Every structure is written in structure tokens, then in C-alpha cells.
A and B are shown apart, each in its own frame.
Chain A
Amino acid sequence: MTLYGGYLFYTCLILALIPAILLGVMQKPLRLYTLGISIVFICLVLAGDIKQLLCFSGFFLAELAIVKGYLLLRIKYGRNEKLYYITVFLSILPLILNKCSPIFNLNVFGIIGISYLTFRTVQMVIEIYDGIITEVPAFEYAGFILFFPALSCGPIDRSRRFHEDWVKVYKREEYLELVGTGLFKILLGLIYKLILAVQFYKWMGFFDGNQWYCGIGYAYLYGFYLFFDFAGYSMMAVGTSYILGIQTPDNFRRPFIAKDMRDFWDRWHISLSYWFRDFIFSRFIMKCVKKKWFDTRLQRASAGFIVNMFIMGMWHGLTISYLLYGLYHGVLLALTEIYQKKSQFYKKNKDQKAYRFMSWFVTLQLVMFGFLIFSGKFVEILNLGGN
């Protein structure tokens, strides 16, 4: 079985959500039930592969031990930087091995959702270091990490936000409203994923040549396909969460109307870009300010954007296309920052209708070109050009 794919999954999902709705309507807590069905779904997904199931369990227990262990060290030794860096490294080590395994032709740690599970765990380590997480109940940690609706592809929830919903028991009207919103999101997600994404995917076939002009059509269709597929998946994940009483944050907000590149990242894969903003960009900038690594704010900002997005590219995978994709967006964000801070033309015209339209249009082209890089097609076209 795969999550959000095939009749078996949707049948199981309906069967699993009916008791949840009954519990919710009776104003009973959903926690125990949610953790129970999460474990059942994970077992169903991994049922065919005992090795995977063992790997997954081992990974989960190791990460739990890291978080619990670090919490004890943090209480004992305070804000110790060395201990913190070692713990962060240990918690992302499985992900690093996983991302590097294609290079060495090994297939280790091919755990379902490993990237997203790592995001959720390392975020807790960082917040323990900062002193805003002071306890980690194992039961709640399991509920958070194993929460099946967002297990394999996000959205990336935060443990402190999750906690608020986890301990909450909703009033009947409040819960019914959540169920209504949840069902709507699941249905819209189905339309996105099973109708629109499938259609755009079919059309991509028309542009399968390696000539440069095929790239243009391919970029647009691939971009729309990617959006409807991923946003559809995310919406179903969020909708399912709602029915389980967890208000997982939305992951997309009409990305194709973005007015500049920064606006785009506020709308595209939001839970990821906010995660990067809070845990990489902000921390990098703070480090730069304290260590006085750069002379001007613009240099600092540009370096911040490029480092941030390059790591984001690396996280997608260590292939030329993904690294290039990350670098491309980092440079674009840096250029946007420089342009908006320096250009008198921008300051004078930014609120004009015609300017806003042009800005939207240019942004859309840049975004679509980014998708062409992401799809791997761009590198393919370049290679052929070189021969």
C-alpha cells in the first residue's frame, strides 16, 4: 500500500476516519486512536518489506533516544555549543548517509519519509538548545513523528504547534467545523492530484524532445503538474489531519500569482521554506551579525539566501539538477534583495499597476525556468547541446 495512492489506501482511510469522527463528536480525546492508526498505516505501507520495517523502527528509536538524551544533557550542561553541534549531526546522520548513498552505490536507510522525519526531529533538538522545549514525553513524540497523514511528504509541522492540538479536546461544534474543512480539503486534493496533475502529466509527453524549444512547453506543463500533484497530496494530508484534530499548516497558497521571488517562497511548499527560514536562514544571519563576517547588510543577506537555498537543493538530492536548482533560487533571491534595496526605479514604481503586472510576469518565467532545472530536463538539454 502507498499513502494517498490506490483504492486500498483510500478504503483504509475512510474506515480509519469513521471511528475518529465518532470519537470527536462524542468530545473524546483523539490522541490514543491517532497514534494507533498511525502505527497500523505504517505497518500496512511497510508490510511487504520486513527489512524496511526494522530499519524504520530502528531509526525511530534512535531519534527518540537522541532527543531524550540531548534533553538530559541540556539540563545538565546548559547551552553548550559543542554538545549541540554533535547532537544535530547525529540526528541528521541517517539523512546524510541516505542522500550520499547513490554516490557510493549503496542503498542504506531508504526509510519512508526520512527527510521529513529528520526535519521534525532536528527542529526539536534546536529548540531544546534554545531552551523553548523543556520536556519531550515519549508518547507525544511518537504521535508527532509517526503521525501518518504527513508522514512521507509533509507538510512539516512543528512540535510545539502540534502539542497544542495534541492535548486539546474539541467542543462538538468546533470539531464538526474541522471535519467539514477537512473533508473539503481531501476532496479538492483528490481533484488536484487525480484529475489535474494526471492531465498535465499526459500533456508533458508532447514536449519530450531534447530541442531547446521543447523545454519551454515542458517547463510550464511540468510546473503545473508538480503543483497539482504536490499541492493535492498536501491538501489531503492537511484535510486528514483536521479530521484527527490536528490543524497541520497549509503547504501552498496560490504560488503562480507571486509578485516576486520572495513572495513565491512564501507561497510554495510553505512549511519547508518557513522551516528553512527559521532554522537555517535566521540562524546563519544571526551568526554573521555576531561574528561580523560581512561588511554590509546586502552582502550578509545575499550570502544568507545563497547558503539557505543551496542547502535546500542538497536536501532534495545530491544530483546536478537539484544543486543547480538550489543555487539558482539562492542567486535569484539575493538579486531580488539587492534590486529592491538599491533600485530607485523599483522604489518609485513598485505600487504601479503596470509594474506589478510586469513583475508578476517576469517572476512566473523565472519560476518556470526553475522547474525546468528541477525536472532534470535542463541538464539533459545542456548535455545534448555540448555533444
Chain B
Amino acid sequence: MKEKILDMLAEICEDDIVKENLDIDLLKTDLLDSLGFAEMLALIEEDFGIVLSPSEFQREDLSTPAKIIEIIESRG
């Protein structure tokens, strides 16, 4: 599961660094903007069948790979 999520993130952010550093701040490093954020939610729904609403979270709630994994796993 974790690996699958990281692969998806690497594809969206177009950078493998997200697999190596799970605490990297995706917002400050410009790796995940509003576009990537929306794409990520769509893929989470498609790949894992988990519906996350775009207005459900503050951007900061999903600002690192670790936080994203935690939220998906808690819903799975």
C-alpha cells in the first residue's frame, strides 16, 4: 500500500525525492500545487477506492508524503 502511494506521488510530483524523504514539505518545495493536489485526490479514489473531498482538508494536513500515507491508511 505504502509503496503504491509513493509511486503515485512520484508520478504526480514528477520527482522521486518524495520516495526517499517522507517528511519533505510538498507545498514549500512547489512539488504539489493545486493542480497536483486535485490529481492526487482523483487517483486516490481510482486506485484505492477512497473518496477524499477537496474541501475536506487544509493543504497543510496533506503537506508531506508521510501525512498523505497516514490519511489514506486511516481511511482504507
CB-based contact B51/A285 at 8 Å? no
Q: How far is the CB of A2 from chain B (nearest CB, A)?
A: 32
Q: Would you give the shortest CB distance from B37 to chain A, in whole angstroms?
A: 7
A131 with B35: in contact, given A290-B42, A290-B46 (CB under 8 Å)? no
Interface of A is mostly: helix
Q: Which of A25-66 contact B (CB under 8 A)?
A: none
B-binding segment of A138-146, A195-203, A275-283, A310-318: A275-283
Complex: A301 Cα to B35 Cα, angstroms: 7
For A337, the closest partner residue in chain B by CB is B35
Q: Which residues of A contact B70 (CB under 8 A)?
A: none
Provide the residues of chain A in CB contact with B53, threshold 8 Å: 127, 130-132
Judged by a CB distance under 8 angstroms, whether B56 is at the interface is yes
Task: Determine how close the nearest CB of chain B comes to the CB of A20; give it in whole angstroms.
Answer: 28
In this complex, how many residues of chain B approach chain A with their Cβ under 8 Å: the count is: 15
Q: How far is the CB of A161 from chain B (nearest CB, A)?
A: 10
**Chain A 277-320 per-residue mask, 1 if CB under 8 angstroms from chain B, else 0:** 11101110111011000000100110010000000000000000
Q: A301-B35, A304-B35 are in contact. Are A279 and B55 (CB under 8 A)?
A: yes
- Total chain A interface residues with beta-carbon distance under 8 A: 24
Are A158 and B35 in touch, CB under 8 angstroms? no
Q: B24 → chain A, closest Cβ, in Å?
A: 19
The CA of A287 and the CA of B46, in the complex, are separated in Å by 11
Binding site for B on A (CB under 8 A): 79, 123, 126-127, 130-132, 158, 277-279, 281-283, 285-287, 289-290, 297, 300-301, 304, 337
Residues of B within 8 A of A (CB): 34-35, 37-39, 41-43, 45-46, 51, 53-56
